[in-house]
Amino acid sequence: MEFFRIKKDIPFMRHALTFNVISFVTFILAVVFLFTKGLHLSVEFTGGTLVEVKYEQAADLEKIRGALGKSGFSDYAVQNFGSSQDVMIRLPLKGEQNTSQLGETIMKALEAEAPGAALSRVEFVGPQVGKELAENGAMALLLVIVGIVIYLAFRFEWRFSVSAIIANLHDVVIILGFFAFFQWEFSLSVLAAVLAVLGYSVNESVVVFDRVRETFKKVRGLSTPEVLDHAITSTISRTIITHGSTQLMVLSMLIFGGETLYYFSLALTIGICFGIYSSVLVASPLVMWLGVSREQFVKPKKVVEGANEEGAVV
């Protein structure tokens, strides 16, 4: 069995501009959503209280809302969580509220108006902790970017490291854009997924670049786009198979992992899909625009730079 019976190198670079335009538009859209809609941050980042309760039968959300209203709560959000029996109640931070007793107060209120609830989870995060988590998250992202740029610059040369990191940051922004557009909850585990996928899809670019370098060194007389086409074509089956395998695992989490892992695996799914696209079809054109050429890899010898591709048949 072999999925990829590719006779010729696929002329990806001929469509480089198209791909870049697509990326650019998606990217801009993502940024627009991020700014207009913003991320729906979880309690971990914003601070506040989250109470999860379980009912024997389907829960009556209206009754629960009524119960909370009567107990003097405001700005609460009540929604089903996973199933009709599970209910999640969120409360924002309040200045003077006795937060440490909040869980109990809520349970008492529910007991009176909508009895039969069993407490499954309470989460309370103070304002300071939330702020710190957000700062630490940003620091982690920065550290990953710097780490990867340094590693790639050391391993290849600056053109590769710059294009790889741009391509993958564009993934990160797009994942965030999805979360902003659909108003999915952005929690700490989603952040972990985003960073993990960043590290993971960078290596996709590494694989392609490895081939680019190898081809530049080994094969003479190919234009830069041809070299890139060849490198992408010869790694495409590996790219799709590995990402497919990883996606199988993520899919399994998406299906069986329950509500807690749902957004985590969703972020991974988007990350993996765009990871394939960006590391292959965004990073490579970028390398080309940045003017990579043969003489950077072999002993100096003038070769016409950025030659037009003429139907890259090998």
Partner 1 sequence: MNRYPLWKYVTVAIALVLGFIYTLPNFFGESPAVQVSSAKATLKVDQKTEARVAETLKAAGVAHDGILLDFNGVKTRFKDTDTQLKAKDILEKTFNPDASDPQYVVALNLLSASPGWLTSLHALPMYLGLDLRGGVHFLLQVDMKGALTKRLDSTSADIRTVLRDKSLRHGGVNREGDRIVIRFRDVETRDKARYAIADSQPDLQVVDAGDASEPRLVATLKPQAQQKIGEFALKQNITTLHNRINELGVAEPVIQQQGQDRIVVQLPGVQDTAKAKDILGRTATLEIRMVDDTPGALDAALAGNPPFGTELYNERGGQPLLVKKQVVLTGDRLNDAQPGFDNQTQEPAVHLNLDSAGARIFKDVTRENVGKRMAILLIEKGKGEVITAPVIRTEIGGGRVQISGRMTTAEANDTALLLRAGSLAAPMDIVEERTIGPSLGAENIKKGFHSTMWGFAAIAVFMILYYQMFGVVSVLALASNLLFLVALLSLLQATLTLPGIAAIALTLGMAIDANVLINERVREELRAGMPPQAAISEGYERAFGTILDSNITTLIAGLALLIFGSGPVRGFAVVHCLGILTSIFSSVVVSRALINLIYGRQKKLAKVAIGQVWKPGVAAGAKN
CA separation (Å) from 280 to 210, 232, 276? 12, 7, 6
Give the footprint of partner 1 on residues 19-48 (CB under 8 A): 44
- Give the nearer residue to partner 1 in terms of CB position, either 60 or 214: 214
Q: Please tell me the total number of residues recorded for the chain in this structure.
A: 314
- As a whole number of angstroms, the distance between CA 205 and CA 290 comes to 15
Closest separation in Å from C-beta 32 to partner 1 = 27
Q: Which of 88, 93, 119, 162 binds partner 1 (CB under 8 A)?
A: 119
Q: Which of 31, 162, 166, 207 binds partner 1 (CB under 8 A)?
A: 207
* Range in contact with partner 1 (rule: CB under 8 A) among 72-80, 149-157, 293-301, 304-312: 149-157
Longest dimension (CA), the chain: 84
Give the footprint of partner 1 on residues 151-170 (CB under 8 A): 151-152, 155
- As a whole number of angstroms, the distance between CA 87 and CA 105 comes to 16
Q: Which of 61, 88, 162, 261 binds partner 1 (CB under 8 A)?
A: 261
* The amino acid at 70: K
* Range in contact with partner 1 (rule: CB under 8 A) among 28-36, 69-77, 184-192, 298-306: 184-192
| Pick from 211, 214, 234, 217: nearest CA to 314 | 234
| Pick from 75, 28, 70: nearest CA to 49 | 75
- As a whole number of angstroms, the distance between CA 154 and CA 48 comes to 44
Tell me: does residue 96 bind partner 1 (CB under 8 A): no
- Give the nearer residue to partner 1 in terms of CB position, either 62 or 104: 104
Q: Which of 250, 276, 280, 287 binds partner 1 (CB under 8 A)?
A: 250
